[in-house]
Structure 1
């Protein structure tokens, strides 16, 4: 089973669920299932995942850099990029059974994790979402966070 989103299902939501009314579930316009593997990761998992990642970054920064504020952010960014490139998800994502996949299929590559992570570090793009619960950081990087 591929890790990438499918083409949208036929019907009014395929052209853009917002114009034809609310969509049945986040990810439907992207051709993703409502529940289970490959469905959009919901807010609880996302918050839990980023909390785990920030906690790990804080622990590493405290252990090696006396917990300096900028050190925590730098460690967070480095951990995010390395794990996204190598495993397709951060430690928090993987612990909560999520994965980042590119919208067009294929490998995640290097540029998507870098762009996505830098935007998450800025915070604002991560809290601006669309109907499919994809943050601006995912839209710009052409990725989607799905359940495994």
Structure 2
């Protein structure tokens, strides 16, 4: 890891070197159920949820290639639907349709299964994309840090 990450990631470089897999220092297994979900699978779950939101949006606002304003409104509605799916799904049961399909679940790092209102800032940061792409040595993005959550495999 580069030297600049030491300014915002906790711990010394020696701690990072001694950690063998994401989630090890939290007591999580290296592979299988209960391990930290990989970035690729998390991204795929996001894409599934975005496609679902787009399909739901198309029920209310069909594509109109002649009216750019209508398409802008359609995009805004699609993002709003995605936010509702994500905030409600993660906040209430810890998953979204994409996460369920790919075998993942969001849990609080304090051991509680109920994410609750922590799902709101977490989802808003995912919508910005960059905080979700910046991960620490445990595979947790900035959105997980803010929400006090970790995304684990369920199978």
Task: Please state which band the TM-score falls in when normalised by the shorter chain.
Answer: 0.7 to 0.9
Question: d(CA) in 2 for partners of 1:63 and 1:24?
Answer: 47
Instruction: Output aligned runs, 1:1-148, within 5 Å.
Output: 16=11, 18-20=13-15, 21-66=17-62, 68-148=74-154
Report Cα offsets for 1:58-117 as digits up to 9, x if no partner: 101121133611111101000111111232101100111100000011242421111111
Higher normalized helix content (fraction of residues): 2
Runs of 5+ consecutive residues of structure 1 not aligned to the other structure: 1-14
Q: Label 1:34 to 1:95 Cα distance change in 2 as closer, same or farther (>3 A).
A: same
Paired residue total: 134
Runs of 5+ consecutive residues of structure 2 not aligned to the other structure: 1-9, 64-73
Question: d(CA) in 2 for partners of 1:126 and 1:113?
Answer: 14
Larger Rg, first or second structure (1 or 2):
2
Checking the alignment, whether the CA contact within 8 Å between 2:92 and 2:114 is kept in structure 1 is: no
Root mean square deviation of aligned Cα: 1.7
